[in-house]
Amino acid sequence: MKLADFIAKYELFCPKELAVEGDPVGLQVGNPDKEVKKVLVTLDIREQTVQEAIDLGVDVIFAKHPLIFRALEALTTLDEQQKLVLDLVSSGIAVYTSHTNIDVVKGGLNDYFCELLGMTDIEVLDDDEGVGRIGNLPLTTLSALTEKVKTVFNLERLRIVTYHHDMLEKITRLALCGGSGGKFWPIAKEKGADVYLTGDIYYHAGHDMLSRGLLGIDPGHYIEKAFIPLVAEKMRSFETDVEIIESKVNTNPFYDI
């Protein structure tokens, strides 16, 4: 089938219009009239992802994180990011990105996180952008919640934002935002969260959260790898003859020792 037709099916589920203003989503590389037989779903497009796509002979990569996030000033092999684009073009591989729209859409990544964590009475966290979720949990402790997060996201360790290190603190309400959502912590507090779960919480934001009585769990940005099975399953439901392949490459730039 043509790439444009496959994209149309995806955008019925996850429209581009849901993306946060200025977010570069949609077809970034390639010809919409291209015939598509194999799709690779991945979180990031890095050197190893491009090589994986070439080795697998795919026609298009669907990624969460945009390949081209800012305007390119040139297109040469002298710059690593530009070289990725050139390698994809020369290999005839198209690129489509679904970034904040998959976070916002009903049944998207943040809703999937809520499902994995057993949340109920779920609401949108940031009403302006539609990003993040907040909901209730059965009465639990900070210790039990952190262990559940590690299990659900297959983590050996994570960071907790707390002064007192009281792992028996009672938790009934959780806010979350996949990726880097540190700026939304005041909304989480206003909406009654006991804990805010998001990646990339920086030092001073942690201080500010605790001063307002909000705990934090930072499992890292890479929990968004859940995009891969979620989107692959959705694409298989399209009932096309297109083969959907889930990337096996680890693109997490951090390594715990």
Name the binding residues for a divalent metal cation. 65, 103, 221, 224
Contacts of 133 (CB under 8 A, 6+ apart): 110, 111, 113, 114, 119, 122, 123, 124, 125, 175, 176, 177
Phi and psi for 58 in degrees, rounded to 5?
-80, 160
Cα atoms in the 13 Å half-sphere on the side-chain side of 194: 17
Strand partners, 195: 174, 215
Question: Structure tokens of 188?
Answer: 């989480």
Distance CA 96, CA 206 (A): 35
Binding-site positions: 65, 103, 221, 224
Taking Cα atoms as reference points, which of 48, 77, 67, 64 lies closest to residue 14? 64
Please check whether residue 15 is in contact with residue 80, taking contact to mean a CB–CB distance below 8 angstroms: no
Strand partners, 170: 141
Taking Cα atoms as reference points, which of 106, 201, 114 lies closest to residue 161? 201
Distance CA 16, CA 102 (A): 9
Cα atoms in the 13 Å half-sphere on the side-chain side of 117: 35
